[in-house]
């Protein structure tokens, strides 16, 4: 029904800000570059200032060549165990091309530098700044099936993930696999959490321990599972295949004297110096974001628990207002700064760049996501009585509304009592409300944006039509039979690019709430379980409807987020034990004010639980590493077969000399006489080594002499033994 | 001067406890088995109940075949980057055979099972229980040079280590490389320690921090260095080449349906259950050894600090006497038990077996080496006043000598004062006295043992001669020219087998004192520096004189001891901070009794220093991983060249189709008409995809149409813009 016209990629070429003749010349160059690597092209009108260039592989022959090249590359870098068969057609029969592989290879053909056999098209950069985007087209029939299937099933099977991998590539598939694994894993803590919520009371150490163990098992198990999936999808090791960053600036260029390879060098010490800037950056970010959070937090405490004047119910939302306005602005400034800093660190490979950027983004997100709860748990509750008197500075915020000073009077230490529900309410806010809002934002905002944008365009072109009297059909020249297709392509050209790391980050941060704070409110996992079922489907819809079809990149891991997971489980062992110790000590009463907290006991609890955690993790790692899996079996088998084949091939080249030293050799009178003659002839010229080895000839003689020695030795001993008896 | 008669290996065949005809038959089988894999043999008399079987490779042709086989095996398992050249002679020219490689390959030829192409000789086991040992002969000329060179130089160069590797194999070379690296590394803490001892006073936190940082740097740097050496010696990855354990008992045997490989299976869960026994074992060992150490320690405290009667100066040595008698017995029982347990765990590979055994041995050594100091530092000093009154149970030990009850009277808490020097004296004992004693034992004991043994034999044969009247020359039948050689071989046959892990363990335990306790006595590193200079030379002498020449095994790491090093540096961060906090607080006076120690401050110190350590280690790891080295460069170059070669080889097989889509294609009137004709002929049969792609023919037309679109778009806009202006 909805054909993609065999189009592999669409290149949107925009010339709004360029001189027309230059734009046309560049366009010609573009088309020529694509043709030079074996790609067919067709051009159509885009919107007012762009044309759409449709690209497909000119012939299967070309494609097979590229596939073979790519597979040889994989083999050399250890991703494939064996070299692909020499005949490409045979190779494709043994190991068929899947859609994502095909699309990836073509994308690389378009974007790789000419030195590596590509067309060297780099969107929005340098020579190709008019190339606005390179995207591939959605397969609407498949998308429809996909969403229908997922929205009617509780669990996703590995085959469903295989499907994603075949269509959208391993990187996206790894996100869905991770989220699905996490979703399944949530069932157990959700059940335990529900039980704990029903029967165990607040801050149950039992729930805390189970939760910490389970989070550790999940993290370690996922590492195991990841390898298995990577083997299943034939991508194990691709993350080691470093892709050079195009923006890398070298200081020196050396030619290796041995290999003749050109090496671009940027001194590691210099990079290290630049990396050190991360520390002040993290501190600054923590200070800025922390100050904002602490301020709004204090204002909120002041208004909700001290202020007693008019408009209280409205003013309570003031701090939230400040936070929701200022936080995204600050966050985006800091994220921008982090990106700049990472660029400045000048990494040589794409992988290193992404790792470094992810670390910084994680720090920022860590602060914005968890600091408010940390403040409540470890500052407000234990030190509230001490700190509250200093809150009168915030009376400024409500001064215009207060009727008298008394309404803003800060209570003395003795009269102020801490709001015991604040911590729980906050955790519930972050784990339920914020998650729902977030999910809504992900789906609704882009929809509204798109609607608004198309409305705006409609109005504009209506206005133009009125003014000029031309009909509003901008694309009247489209042939009737292509019109629907072209309209669809134009619409897809305007969509956003899907960023899988943003979705992954969301999941990791969600996992953080579970690991760090779920002991406060054990229903956390229940909320997440429901949320993630929807999330998985919502992300599928998002990809299908609101985003351009993602370029099918490969991956063999969820990457640096794995470190974040490990970090969060470790930190969870600290926070959970501290929370349990601070809040669950019986006899403290429900008001949560710890009367008899002793520093050494808290520290001992933390110290103990941290080391118990490290030991436990070590044990779990060991145990999980022992688990076999289909992927591992497959890998072992492949390796074994390849080794066997290579070994046999190599050994067969060896000209087989008879290994037996003297097979068939006989001691005859003649040979002995012959020996004696040579020996006497060469006389003293024969060296002692030769004489030593000449005494026994062939293994039979050695065996015979040995037999003699053994028998005589026996006789030597016998008389002695007899005497001794 | 001293020739080895071209002998590669000597097999000592002992038949004392075997029926003579059976022994002779087995001997024949042995000789035949050796001959069947291309080995030449000669037999000579050994001692009374043994014969010596000399083995050498029959021909260079045979050897080359084996070398090729071994190198192909290495290549397949990733130890070599490239397959060895097909012509073996060429391979040996490009990459000459070194002595250790030659000897290793011959040893494997003798011992490998017949299924893997060896003779299957397994000393002391099964069919071959008469084969007492297989050893190779010392190269006396080289040994003499070696010892002379080392004893006259301060530092060993990498070339010296290369020499060891060429002669004795990588495993022994790695021990010397590690000890040499450790020796060089000690110079800095020795200097700092000397300075601290002179100027900084006791328990200096500055020294503690420097020492902890330096220990961490050393551990991490060694990991880096190890890789480099492995690359230099061409053995990187050999530890991943798992050698199957001969004693492994399988429960099931499966034939892999895909590969046809026979897989022996022992369930991992069952092994895990057995491994769990390690926990009670470690606890028992700790309890038994701990009880012994605590008892002797208490007796010592009682006698030296409470007892006041006669023979005090002699009785003080009583506990040391108990310890030195009981400890080796207990240790050897426990070590034996650990070995049994490790065997019971039934590992499939030699590597896993050794790792597990090393872990257990490390636990035992950890207790015997460090527990006494732990007791003094963390029990005697802080809790001495509380515990001393309970020591009266030990009055039993001196009761026979005491003249009256008063001499054994335990003082009350207030009158007893702790001996502040005990901790320091103990550390000095372990880091100076014990090290010297140990070194002496290593050299002197085997010498005495050997002397005594040969004396004993001399006496015995003298007695026999007297009784029987035969001359005492047991080997009178030796030919005169071989006599000296044979005497030497008979002597070497009686030597012990060198165990490199024992020496390595000694070094690691020594490192432990530095990391854990050197803050008590900063001169520790000075003592170790001197000790290790001697140790390196003494070990060389030991190998040359007192041990059989080691079989040149390969290794690419010091193995599981690396984990022990990491563990000791980590623990060092805890003990150092605790010791500094407990003992250096100013105002406590020199008596070391901590009056105002508060639990929370101690715990906070430990918690802080541990996390500072973990962060520091992370930083050091990152920084060191950035360091390039000749070995890494070599590896990278080799890989690059091999990849390039393979890639080019593979790609050259591809039949080069012209990549340019329409090179030379021309739009002529004829071709257009031809297209029109085919199009109208096929009519509606042509599908929309074909029509879509048929609109523009060749890249030139696409470029032309694009140019038109761009120019027209420009015109569309222009009037509007003009109006707006």
Lowest mean pLDDT among A338-352, A680-694, B51-65: A680-694
Task: Check CB contact under 8 Å for A27 and B695.
Answer: no
pLDDT tens-digit readout, B45-83: 888 888 999 999 988 888 888 888 888 888 888 888 887
- Interface with chain A: mutation pick from B27, B43, B274, highest number of A CBs within 10 Å: B43
Contacts of residue A378, defined as CB under 8 A and 6 or more positions apart, other chains included, come to A578, A582
**In A405-555, where does DSSP find H-type helix?**
422-428, 434-468, 480-493, 500-517, 524-541
A345 and A364 in a common domain: yes
**Does residue B498 carry a pLDDT above 60?**
yes
pLDDT tens-digit readout, A158-190: 999 999 999 999 999 999 999 999 999 999 999
> CB-CB: which of B20, B659, B702 is closest to A36?
B659
B173 and B95 in a common domain: no
**Which tokens in the block code for residue A565?**
């997971």
CA atoms lying within 13 Å on the CB side of residue A447: 11
Task: Check CB contact under 8 Å for A706 and B24.
Answer: yes
Q: What percent of chain A has pLDDT over 90?
A: 36
Identify which has the larger pLDDT, B91 or A40.
A40
- Residue A691 in domain: no
Q: What chain A residue is nearest to B89 in terms of C-alpha separation?
A: A654
Provide the β-strand partners of residue A14. Answer: A50
Q: Tell me the pLDDT band of A575, cut-offs 50, 70 and 90.
A: very high
Q: In whole numbers, what is the pLDDT of chain B averaged over residues?
A: 84
Q: What chain A residue is nearest to B28 in terms of C-alpha separation?
A: A703
3-state secondary structure of B57: strand
Lowest mean pLDDT among A101-105, B107-111, B316-320: B316-320
By C-alpha distance, which of B575, B590, B554 is closest to B71? Answer: B554
**CB-CB contact of B593 with B628 (8 Å):** no
**CB-CB contact of A566 with A219 (8 Å):** yes
**Does residue B417 carry a pLDDT above 80?**
no
Q: What chain B residue is nearest to A63 in terms of C-alpha separation?
A: B659
A208 and A125 in a common domain: no
- Residue A44 in domain: yes
**Does residue B191 carry a pLDDT above 90?**
yes
**Does residue B181 carry a pLDDT above 70?**
yes
> CB-CB: which of A31, A256, A703 is closest to B28?
A703
**Does residue B129 carry a pLDDT above 50?**
yes
Distance CA A236, CA A414 (A): 63
A151 and A133 in a common domain: no
> CB-CB: which of A45, A72, A720 is closest to B651?
A72
| CA torsion, ordered B371, B376, B379, B385, to nearest 10 deg | 160
By C-alpha distance, which of B55, B524, B587 is closest to A661? Answer: B55
Q: What chain B residue is nearest to A76 in terms of C-alpha separation?
A: B643
Distance CA A78, CA A236 (A): 8
Task: Check CB contact under 8 Å for B653 and A15.
Answer: no
| pLDDT for position A620 | 93
> CB-CB: which of A42, A48, A654 is closest to B695?
A42
In Å, how far is B259's CA from the nearest CA of chain A?
6
A152 and A119 in a common domain: no
Q: In whole numbers, what is the pLDDT of chain A averaged over residues?
A: 84
Question: Which residues in chain A are contacts of B626 at CB distance < 8 A?
Answer: 268, 271-272
| pLDDT for position A269 | 85
- Residue B347 in domain: yes
Last residue of a domain, one of A86, A107, A137: A137
Question: Which residues in chain A are contacts of B646 at CB distance < 8 A?
Answer: 72, 75-76, 83
Most trustworthy range by pLDDT among A480-484, A610-614, A645-649: A610-614
**Which tokens in the block code for residue A386?**
């001490």
Task: Check CB contact under 8 Å for B643 and A76.
Answer: yes
Question: Which residues in chain B are contacts of A72 at CB distance < 8 A?
Answer: 646-647, 650-651
pLDDT tens-digit readout, B603-637: 888 999 999 999 999 999 988 888 888 888 888 88
A618 and A510 in a common domain: yes
B419 and B346 in a common domain: yes
pLDDT tens-digit readout, B31-48: 999 999 989 999 988 888
Last residue of a domain, one of A578, A608, A639: A639
**Does residue A673 carry a pLDDT above 90?**
no
Q: What chain A residue is nearest to B77 in terms of C-alpha separation?
A: A643
B219 vs B256, B431, B623, CA distance in Å? Answer: 42, 20, 13
pLDDT tens-digit readout, A412-468: 666 667 777 888 888 999 999 989 988 888 888 878 888 888 888 788 777 777 776
A150 and A107 in a common domain: no
**Does residue A602 carry a pLDDT above 50?**
yes
**CB-CB contact of B576 with B516 (8 Å):** yes
Identify which has the larger pLDDT, B664 or A11.
A11
> CB-CB: which of A44, A468, A702 is closest to B43?
A702
Q: How large is the average pLDDT for residues A489-501?
A: 90
B176 and B112 in a common domain: no
**Does residue B589 carry a pLDDT above 60?**
no
Task: Check CB contact under 8 Å for B34 and A699.
Answer: yes
Identify which has the larger pLDDT, B643 or A661.
B643
| pLDDT for position A287 | 92
Q: Tell me the pLDDT band of B412, cut-offs 50, 70 and 90.
A: low
Which stretch of DSSP H or E encloses residue B289? helix B278-305
| pLDDT for position B575 | 94
In Å, how far is A432's CA from the nearest CA of chain B?
33
| pLDDT for position B565 | 95
Q: How large is the average pLDDT for residues B696-720?
A: 75
- Residue A297 in domain: yes
**Which tokens in the block code for residue B644?**
């390039």
Q: How large is the average pLDDT for residues A259-287?
A: 88
**Does residue A472 carry a pLDDT above 50?**
no
Lowest mean pLDDT among A364-373, A560-569, B392-401: B392-401
Task: Check CB contact under 8 Å for A5 and B77.
Answer: no
- Interface with chain A: mutation pick from B89, B699, B716, highest number of A CBs within 10 Å: B699
**Does residue B587 carry a pLDDT above 50?**
no
- Residue B643 in domain: no
A73 and A24 in a common domain: yes
Question: Which residues in chain A are contacts of B58 at CB distance < 8 A?
Answer: 661
Last residue of a domain, one of B79, B105, B137: B137
- Interface with chain B: mutation pick from A706, A707, A711, A725, highest number of B CBs within 10 Å: A706
In Å, how far is A249's CA from the nearest CA of chain B?
18
Number of domains into which chain B is organized: 3
Q: Tell me the pLDDT band of B423, cut-offs 50, 70 and 90.
A: confident
Q: Tell me the pLDDT band of A656, cut-offs 50, 70 and 90.
A: low
B230 and B112 in a common domain: no
Question: Which residues in chain A are contacts of B684 at CB distance < 8 A?
Answer: none
Task: Check CB contact under 8 Å for B72 and A651.
Answer: yes
| pLDDT for position B591 | 47
Question: Which residues in chain A are contacts of B693 at CB distance < 8 A?
Answer: 5-6, 40, 42, 56
**Does residue A379 carry a pLDDT above 60?**
yes
Q: What chain A residue is nearest to B268 in terms of C-alpha separation?
A: A626
Identify which has the larger pLDDT, B465 or B272.
B272
Q: What percent of chain B has pLDDT over 70?
A: 88
pLDDT tens-digit readout, B325-360: 888 899 899 999 999 999 999 998 888 899 999 999
Q: ipTM > 0.85?
A: no
By C-alpha distance, which of A56, A48, A57 is closest to A13? Answer: A48
pLDDT tens-digit readout, B672-694: 555 555 555 555 556 788 888 88
Expressed as residue numbers, the domain containing A43 is 9-137
**Does residue B393 carry a pLDDT above 50?**
yes
| pLDDT for position A212 | 94
Task: Check CB contact under 8 Å for A27 and B258.
Answer: no
> CB-CB: which of A31, A643, A689 is closest to B702?
A31
**Does residue A342 carry a pLDDT above 70?**
yes
> CB-CB: which of A464, A707, A716 is closest to B720?
A464
Question: Which residues in chain A are contacts of B62 at CB distance < 8 A?
Answer: 657, 659
**Does residue A587 carry a pLDDT above 60?**
no
Identify which has the larger pLDDT, A464 or B238.
B238
Task: Check CB contact under 8 Å for A657 and B61.
Answer: yes
CA atoms lying within 13 Å on the CB side of residue B535: 24
- Residue A494 in domain: yes
**Does residue A604 carry a pLDDT above 50?**
yes
In this structure, is the dihedral angle defined by the CA atoms of residues A30, A35, A36 and A39, taken in order, positive or negative? positive
A133 and A155 in a common domain: no
**In A560-668, where does DSSP find H-type helix?**
561-584, 599-626, 630-652
Question: Which residues in chain A are contacts of B719 at CB distance < 8 A?
Answer: 468
Lowest mean pLDDT among A12-16, B20-24, B435-439, B585-589: B585-589
Task: Check CB contact under 8 Å for A706 and B76.
Answer: no
Lowest mean pLDDT among A446-450, B50-54, B177-181, B491-495: A446-450
- Residue B647 in domain: no
pLDDT tens-digit readout, B528-573: 999 999 999 999 999 998 899 999 999 999 988 999 999 999 999 9
Task: Check CB contact under 8 Å for B77 and A643.
Answer: yes
> CB-CB: which of A20, A40, A695 is closest to B711?
A20
Distance CA A225, CA A148 (A): 27
- Residue A404 in domain: yes
Question: Which residues in chain B are contacts of A37 at CB distance < 8 A?
Answer: 659
Task: Check CB contact under 8 Å for B5 and A662.
Answer: no
CB pairs under 8 A between A and B: 280
Provide the β-strand partners of residue A244. Answer: A349
> CB-CB: which of B34, B261, B640 is closest to A261?
B640
| pLDDT for position A219 | 95
**Does residue A718 carry a pLDDT above 50?**
no
DSSP secondary structure letter of residue A115: G
Provide the β-strand partners of residue A549. Answer: A136
Question: Which residues in chain A are contacts of B485 at CB distance < 8 A?
Answer: 692
Lowest mean pLDDT among A233-242, B254-263, B265-274: B254-263
Q: Tell me the pLDDT band of A715, cut-offs 50, 70 and 90.
A: low
- Interface with chain B: mutation pick from A11, A31, A55, highest number of B CBs within 10 Å: A31
Question: Which residues in chain A are contacts of B691 at CB distance < 8 A?
Answer: 481
């Amino acid at each position: 029904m909805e054909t993609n016209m065999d189009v592999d990629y669409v290149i949107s070429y925009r010339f709004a800000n360029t001189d027309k003749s230059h734009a046309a010349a560049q366009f010609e160059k573009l088309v020529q570059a694509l043709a030079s690597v074996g790609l067919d092209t067709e051009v159509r009108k885009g919107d007012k200032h762009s044309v759409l260039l449709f690209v497909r592989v000119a012939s299967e022959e070309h494609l097979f060549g590229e596939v073979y090249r790519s597979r040889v590359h994989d083999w050399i870098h250890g991703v494939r165990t064996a070299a692909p068969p020499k005949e490409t057609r045979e190779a494709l029969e043994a190991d068929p091309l899947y859609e994502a592989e095909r699309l990836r290879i073509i994308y690389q053909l378009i974007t790789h530098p000419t030195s590596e056999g590509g067309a060297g098209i780099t969107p929005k950069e340098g020579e190709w700044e008019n190339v606005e985007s390179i995207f591939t087209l959605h397969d609407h029939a498949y998308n429809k099936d996909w969403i229908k299937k997922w929205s009617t099933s509780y669990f996703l099977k590995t085959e469903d993930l295989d499907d994603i991998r075949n269509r959208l590539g391993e990187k996206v598939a790894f996100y869905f696999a991770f989220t699905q694994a996490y979703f399944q894993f949530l069932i157990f803590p959700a059940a335990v959490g529900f039980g704990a919520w029903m029967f165990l009371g607040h801050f149950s150490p039992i729930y805390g321990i189970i939760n910490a163990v389970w989070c550790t098992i999940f993290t370690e198990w996922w590492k195991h599972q990841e390898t298995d999936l990577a083997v299943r999808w034939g991508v194990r090791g691709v993350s080691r295949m470093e892709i050079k960053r195009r923006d890398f600036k070298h200081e020196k260029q050396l030619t290796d004297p041995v290999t003749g390879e050109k090496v671009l060098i940027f001194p590691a010490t210099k990079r290290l110096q630049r990396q050190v800037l991360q520390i002040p950056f993290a501190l600054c970010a923590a200070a800025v974001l922390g100050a904002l959070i602490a301020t709004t937090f204090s204002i909120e405490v002041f208004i909700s628990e001290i202020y007693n004047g008019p408009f209280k119910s409205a003013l309570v939302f003031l701090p939230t207002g400040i936070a929701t306005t200022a936080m995204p602005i600050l966050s985006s400034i800091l994220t921008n700064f982090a990106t700049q800093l990472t660029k400045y660190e000048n990494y040589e490979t794409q992988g290193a760049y992404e790792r470094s950027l992810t670390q910084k983004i994680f720090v920022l997100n860590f602060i914005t996501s968890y600091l408010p709860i940390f403040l409540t748990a470890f500052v407000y509750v234990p030190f509230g009585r001490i700190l509250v008197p200093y809150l009168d500075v915030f009376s400024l915020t409500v001064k215009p509304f207060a009727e008298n000073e008394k309404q803003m009077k800060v209570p003395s230490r003795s009269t102020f009592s801490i709001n015991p529900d604040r911590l729980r309410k906050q955790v519930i806010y972050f784990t339920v409300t914020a998650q729902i809002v977030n999910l809504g934002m992900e789906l609704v905002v882009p929809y509204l944006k798109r609607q608004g944008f198309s409305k705006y365009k409609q109005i504009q072109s209506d206005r133009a039509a009125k003014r000029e009297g031309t009909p509003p059909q901008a694309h009247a020249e489209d042939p009737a039979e292509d019109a629907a297709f072209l309209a669809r392509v134009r619409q897809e050209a305007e969509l956003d690019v899907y960023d899988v790391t943003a979705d992954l980050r969301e999941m990791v941060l969600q996992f953080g709430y579970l690991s760090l704070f779920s002991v406060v409110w054990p229903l956390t996992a229940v909320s997440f379980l429901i949320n993630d079922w929807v999330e998985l489907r919502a992300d599928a819809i998002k990809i299908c409807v609101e985003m351009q079809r993602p370029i099918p990149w490969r991956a063999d891991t969820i990457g640096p987020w794995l470190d974040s997971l490990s970090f969060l489980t470790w930190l969870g062992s600290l926070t959970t034990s501290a929370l349990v110790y601070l809040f669950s000590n019986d006899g403290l009463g429900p008001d949560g004010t710890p009367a008899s907290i002793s520093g050494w006991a808290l520290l001992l609890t933390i110290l103990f639980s941290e080391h118990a955690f490290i030991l436990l993790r070590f044990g779990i790692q060991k145990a999980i590493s022992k688990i076999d899996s289909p992927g591992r079996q497959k890998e072992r088998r492949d390796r074994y077969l390849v080794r066997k084949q290579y070994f046999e091939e190599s050994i067969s080249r060896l000209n087989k000399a008879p290994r037996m030293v003297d097979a068939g050799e006989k001691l005859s009178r003649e040979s002995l006489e012959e020996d004696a003659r040579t020996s006497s002839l060469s006389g003293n010229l024969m060296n002692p080594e030769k004489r030593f080895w000449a005494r026994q000839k062939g293994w039979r003689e050695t065996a015979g002499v040995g037999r003699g020695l053994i028998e005589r030795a026996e006789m030597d001993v016998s008389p002695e033994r007899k005497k001794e008896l």
